[in-house]
Amino acid sequence: MNIGIDKIGFYTPHTFIDMVKLAEARGVDPAKYTIGIGQEQMAVSPVTQDAVTLAANAALRILDKEDLKKIDFVIFGTESGIDSSKSAAVYVHDLLGIQSSARSIEIKQACYGATAGIQLAKGHIALHPESRVLVLGSDISRYGLRSSGEVTQGAGAVAMVISANPRILSLGDQSAYLTNDIMDFWRPTYSDTAYVDGKFSNEQYIAFFLNTWEQFKSQTDMTIADFEAMCFHLPYTKMGMKAMREIFDEGTEEDQKRLTDHYQLSTIYNKNVGNIYTGSLYLSLISLLENDTSLKAGNRIGLFSYGSGAVGEFFTGTLQPEFREALAEAEHKNLFAEREEVSIEKYEEIFSEVLPVDGTNLQLDIESDPATICVAGIEEHKRLYVNKSR
Ligand code: HMG
């Protein structure tokens, strides 16, 4: 059965900082951030956005009334969950008005969560071909002010409708995956910032890519020449290239050039948003599809998903005849155009604004946040969400 991505959209908060200005404020050569890491801007999430609202805002942009009636499974991949018990998917289900005969769950495995969601959705649709599944990947990446990971922070969400006979990308049945218990990046439940062994995490990312790529090739007869493009989980935009370069000697100069040219276009959005963890690979896919005018129906795209801790997966998708019409390119370009740059001082102030964790009630000013769906405050330990369009 032909199953895959029928719709795909993203959302990122309305404020961002410039990486050259961050480098200057941190006393670092700006080329380290813009070339060495490969980031130009970083999304800054206000206190009125969290993983739930980012995901709901991403989905709001792509769902129509028919989807709301047909979606019967909401799968929310995140590592920025707001509750250890109730899933973020249940809030989104309500905020969007999805019909009630639906399952709604949250999945966690670092940045791999949305990929796990897609694979689960595929199984569900194989059994129920009429179903539509909403898969969300939403995160706010926080390492801390002046930490080595600060330059790789970001915030945003991707929403995808997975269905039979998808209009954008048909997902291949062959998939190679790997699990290995390592401590390259983690966030204990008592911490709102991540811990990371940076160099080790880079090495493991590449090792997981090479392992799953080798497994994939032995499962199929494919080689590097069978791929028009490859998209990667992008904690920062140099990372995917570091991994892809490792297999370049398997291809011709033409293969290397083709993959490099497409890769550049797959990093445009990520360069300006930062790491959005679960949504990162799919933001890169959106960037490729919306910025690369040379892609054609039938092109095969390799997808590498990596979630620290760690789980990796290499899988593929094939572009469908109507893929261009099904994209939300104009919406996404507007989203970027309407963002507002904030100073490094303002970013530090926003970074430090967090919801109380001691039971204090708080009302937030949601008028200063142009997003349709916002966190309006906290009352008796319950987050209050508002959909301004209702
Ligand atoms: P660092 O120590 O600040 O940077 O850490 P560095 O000294 O390694 O430099 C980075 C690069 O900039 C190097 O290039 C330098 O040569 C270059 P590379 O050797 O890597 O090609 N450089 C310059 N280039 C031009 N001009 C200059 C200059 N100076 C230096 N003047 C690190 C960087 C990414 C490790 C750090 O920011 C970090 O720990 N980030 C968070 C962890 C991370 O993103 N890991 C990626 C793999 S793990 C993953 O993807 C999972 C994750 O998304 C979490 C999840 O799954 O949930 C993170």
How is the chain split into domains, by residue range? 3-168+327-387, 170-319
Q: What is the predicted pLDDT for the residue at 130?
A: 97
Which residues on neighbouring strands pair with residue 307, listed in sequence order?
A: 311
165 Cα–ligand 1 center, Å: 39
195 Cα–ligand 1 center, Å: 14
Task: Determine if the pTM surpasses 0.95.
Answer: yes
Q: What is the predicted pLDDT for the residue at 89?
A: 98
Q: What is the predicted pLDDT for the residue at 356?
A: 95
207 pLDDT tier (thresholds 50, 70, 90): very high
Rounded distance, CA 351 to CA 348, Å? 5
Atom of ligand 1 nearest to the CA of 275: 53
Percent residues over pLDDT 70 in the chain:
100
Rounded distance, CA 158 to CA 151, Å? 21
Q: What is the CATH number of domain 3-168+327-387?
A: 3.40.47.10
- The residue whose CA has the least distance to atom 20 of ligand 1 is 36
Question: Would you state the CATH architecture of domain 170-319?
Answer: 3-Layer(aba) Sandwich (3.40)
Rounded distance, CA 84 to CA 307, Å? 19
pLDDT in tens, 28-70: 999 999 999 999 999 999 999 999 999 999 999 899 999 999 9
- The residue whose CA has the least distance to atom 36 of ligand 1 is 149
- The residue whose CA has the least distance to atom 37 of ligand 1 is 149
Rounded distance, CA 344 to CA 268, Å? 22
Q: What is the predicted pLDDT for the residue at 82?
A: 97
The sign of the CA dihedral 330, 158, 337, 148 is negative
Q: What is the predicted pLDDT for the residue at 128?
A: 97
116 pLDDT tier (thresholds 50, 70, 90): very high
Protein residues whose CB sits closer than 6 Å to any atom of ligand 1: 29, 31-32, 35-37, 79, 110-111, 148-149, 151-152, 184-185, 196, 198-199, 201-202, 205, 233, 235-236, 239, 275, 277, 306-308
What single-letter amino acid sits at 300?
R
- Average pLDDT of the residues of the chain: 98
Exposure of 171 in the CB half-sphere (CA atoms within 13 A)? 24
Atom of ligand 1 nearest to the CA of 199: 35
Q: Name the residues annotated as catalytic.
A: 79, 111, 233
184 pLDDT tier (thresholds 50, 70, 90): very high
331 Cα–ligand 1 center, Å: 31
- The residue whose CA has the least distance to atom 24 of ligand 1 is 36
Instruction: Give the max Cα distance, the chain.
Output: 62
Q: What is the predicted pLDDT for the residue at 148?
A: 96
Rounded distance, CA 227 to CA 333, Å? 27
278 pLDDT tier (thresholds 50, 70, 90): very high
Write phi, then psi, for 54 (nearest 5 degrees): -60, -45
Write phi, then psi, for 11 (nearest 5 degrees): -140, 140
**Residue 37 per-residue DSSP state:** I
CATH topology identical between 3-168+327-387 and 170-319: yes
Mean pLDDT of 359-386: 97
Q: What is the predicted pLDDT for the residue at 346?
A: 98
Q: What is the predicted pLDDT for the residue at 174?
A: 96
37 Cα–ligand 1 center, Å: 6
pLDDT in tens, 309-328: 999 999 999 999 999 999 99
Q: Given ligand 1 and candidates 32, 180, 311, which is best to mutate, with the most ligand atoms within 8 Å of its CB?
A: 32
Q: Are 213 and 305 in contact (CB under 8 A)?
A: no
- The residue whose CA has the least distance to atom 31 of ligand 1 is 32
Q: What is the predicted pLDDT for the residue at 153?
A: 98
